Amino acid sequence: MPLFDQTSSSSIISSRHGSRNEKLTICSLCRSGIIDRRSVLKACKNTTTTSGEKCSYAKLSKPPKAKPRNLPAARRRLQKRYHPASAVHQLPPFSTIYVLQYEAYPYNTTPAIILGLFSHIDTVTAGAISHGAYAFSREGLHDGSEYLSPTGRIRFFTESMQQPVIKNPAARHADYIPHPNAQTEAERIREHRSLFVALRQTSSRSSYIGLFSDKIKAWTACVTDQALLTASPDTTLLLDESRWIDDKGMPHIKGRVEGKGSHTWFVSAFEVDRVLL
Backbone angles phi, psi at 256, to 5 degrees: -120, 135
Instruction: Give dist(CA 50, CA 16) in Å, integer.
Output: 41
Q: What does the pLDDT look like over 73-105, one tens digit per residue?
A: 666 555 555 444 444 444 455 578 999 999 999
Q: How many domains, in total, are found in the chain?
A: 1
Give the domain extent around 160. Answer: 88-167+184-271
Q: How far apart are the first and last CA of the chain?
A: 138
Q: Would residue 178 count as lying in a domain?
A: no
Of residues 100 and 177, the one with the higher pLDDT is 100
CB neighbour list of residue 11: distance below 8 Å, 6 or more residues apart? none
The answer to whether residue 77 sits within a structural domain is: no
Is the pTM here over 0.85, yes or no?
no
Region 137-152: what's the mean pLDDT?
A: 90
7 lies in some domain: no
Mean pLDDT confidence for 149-176:
69
Is there a domain that residue 26 lies in?
A: no
- The reported pLDDT for the residue numbered 96 is 86
Q: Assign residue 78 a region (left: φ > 0; alpha: ψ between -120 and 50; beta: otherwise).
A: alpha
pLDDT of residue 162: 61
Pick the more confident residue, 192 or 155: 155
How do residues 255-267 score in pLDDT, each as one tens digit?
988 878 899 999 9
In a domain, 204, yes or no: yes
* Integer Cα distance of 227 and 219 in angstroms: 12
Average pLDDT over residues 195-212: 92
Average pLDDT, the chain: 73
